[in-house]
Amino acid sequence: MEQLRAARADEARALTALVLRSKAHWGYDARFLAACAPQLALGPHEVTARRVVVAEDGRGAVVGLASLEPEGEGEGERARLGLLFVEPAVIGRGVGRLLYRDVLRRAAARGVRRLLIDADPHAAGFYRAMGAVAASGAPEGLVRFEVAPVPLAGWARAWTGGGRAVHVGNVAEFNAQFADASLDREQSAAHHYASLAAFYSPEPAALVLPRRVPTGWPVLVGRQLGWGEVEVFDALAESGPGLSRAVRARPALAERLTGAGLPLVPWGLTEPFGRLAGRPWQPRELRYESKSASHDLFARILAGGGHPTIRLPEQWRPATRGAAARLLARRAAAGAGSVLKSEHGVGGSGVTVVTPERLRSAGGARALLRRLPRGPLLVEEYVAGPAAGEPGGGLRDLTYDGFVDGAGDVHEVGAAVMDVADGGYRGATVGPGVVPAESERPLLAFGAAVGRELAAAGYRGWFDVDFVTDGAGGLAPTETNLRLTGPAAAFMVAARLDALRGAEHFVRIVDRVELGARLPDGQLEELCGELARACSRLGAVFVPAVPTAAFEPAPWLGVLVAALSRQGLDAAEALVRAEALAVGRPFADGR
């Protein structure tokens, strides 16, 4: 692994020679290189003035350099990446990426808001892939790019204290404590989604996973997100919900994970995780994970006033399923839609939208209920959304994400747009302006109010508040989740990419991308590498988020895509979906 350090004045001649060797790599003749030499040469006094940093290989040999230079007189909000050259023998091995990211980090630390890059045409593809945006005004023979350096978001620094963390993928363990009948007994989906542990903070030190993951998967994800070395401890609980117990049953592993002094970040709080992390367990912290309890919480907040554009859907709690059937029938007869909810369903499990038409086609309310899992049900008013073509017609399901830190302070993360079909979550998009200001302002205010109530109740950790929009542009809160979620992973990746590539990234997490064929590890890694390269050519980023379902009977892949525009994001998602389906084509064609 290459290491970076400040260049020394006595290296100026050797560094100039490296620059010229790197320039010659592109096939320029001796005459052209001689003409360029005065502009590319480094004098001893310039090494410090131009803030040159070098990359050394494992033997101490210098294999690349980059400079961060003032633009104009003195320090300011503008700067220039003056030099970025890599020894020809190691081009393509990530040295340029390492140097480029270091320049952005240093620029952000100095308050630079606009970094200019005048690139050799042969390097244009590299800068585009790294997130730089084409700009006008380049000198003759060069290509100009700009980038907006930013430090890691304040909320992301506060989440894990600004450092790396141990991520514990205890999704099944979290779900199991609620004994919800809408969740399958084997928790197979939860074991797949445990792979989202890779994104529980912007940079993990270790991943603790119940199911075995492909060995190349964390390497590819780490390359895309600029991680250092990440330890992976997988296959610890291939079936059943006992991940934290499985770690504690391995004392050496437990000591390794807890003894390094790094924060342990779970999907959600549980009693076994509390024992592993040495964190006192208080079951009451999670009481607002209950959909009826969260509804009561929303009602108390709204009773205090201050949220005029927030309306609370009515909710009923039938004592029996027969009573639920009668209530559904009465509402359908009046032309009203309803939403059936289990008390603790996750990701849309246990949620059924019941329209009068659906009730008739099912053969009545009792017939419909017989098809649903056993257990208590809540009946909630269905809030009709804006019609297509109306203002806000494309925004139906929104979410607020935030967290309560150890001191009880609430940190706002942001608002996201969710992709939800028939009550089931399918993905989310985060980024600048994805939620219009007229919806974002009341959403953030209400989410923060919920956070304060959670903090007062003793909860510490990540939470979200989900909303639907109504036909009048209002917001209706539907539930809280006291755990990490898919949108949380998207926010983490957006914060990391902003720091690595410049502001402001749009990130979309897609729950399931259908694969055209079942893929063993080697073929899956090959596909993911191809998708990463194809998205890079678009200036976008592809990150495989859930790799473990690629060999299921109906194979699929969870993914994250990122870009600097909504158009780029849509193009990257379309490319990924098409290529993922195409892997089955040779079999379908009989080749």
Are 210 and 243 spatial neighbours (Cβ–Cβ below 8 Å)?
yes
Q: Could you list the beta-strand ranges (E) of 185-325.
A: 204-208, 231-233, 264-266, 315-316
d(C-alpha 63, C-alpha 7), whole Å: 12
Q: Are 567 and 526 in contact (CB under 8 A)?
A: no
The tokens describing 128, both together, are: 């585009």
Instruction: Indicate the range of 86-95, 102-111, 172-181, 300-309 predicted with least confidence.
Output: 172-181
CA distance 65 to 190: 45
Nearest-CA neighbor of 130 among 112, 117, 113? 117
Distance CA 552, CA 269 (A): 29
Least confident of 5-14, 185-194, 277-286, 313-322: 185-194
| pTM, full prediction | 0.93
Distance CA 418, CA 511 (A): 11
H-helix or E-strand spanning residue 147: strand 143-147
The full set of domains in the chain, from first to last, is: 3-147 (3.40.630.30), 153-281 (no CATH)
CA pair distance 525, 200, nearest whole angstrom: 22
Q: What is the DSSP letter of 24?
A: H
Worst-scoring range by mean pLDDT, 5-9, 378-382, 470-474? 470-474
For the ranges 175-184, 242-251, 298-307, 410-419, the lowest mean pLDDT is seen at 175-184
Is the separation of the CB atoms in 428 and 508 below 8 Å?
A: yes
Q: How far apart are CA 244 and CA 257, in angstroms?
A: 11
Residue 310 and residue 383 in contact, taking contact as beta carbons nearer than 8 Å? no
473 close to 392: Cβ distance less than 8 angstroms: yes
Residue 587 has pLDDT above 60, yes or no: no
3-state secondary structure of 317: coil
Euclidean distance between CA atoms 137 and 145, whole angstroms: 9
Q: What pLDDT score does 591 carry?
A: 45
Beta bridge mates, 341: 351, 378
* Per-residue pLDDT band at 184 (split at 50, 70, 90): low
| 164 vs 245: CA distance, rounded Å | 23
Q: Mean per-residue pLDDT for 44-49? A: 94
**First vs last C-alpha separation in the chain:** 42
Mean confidence (pLDDT) of the chain: 92
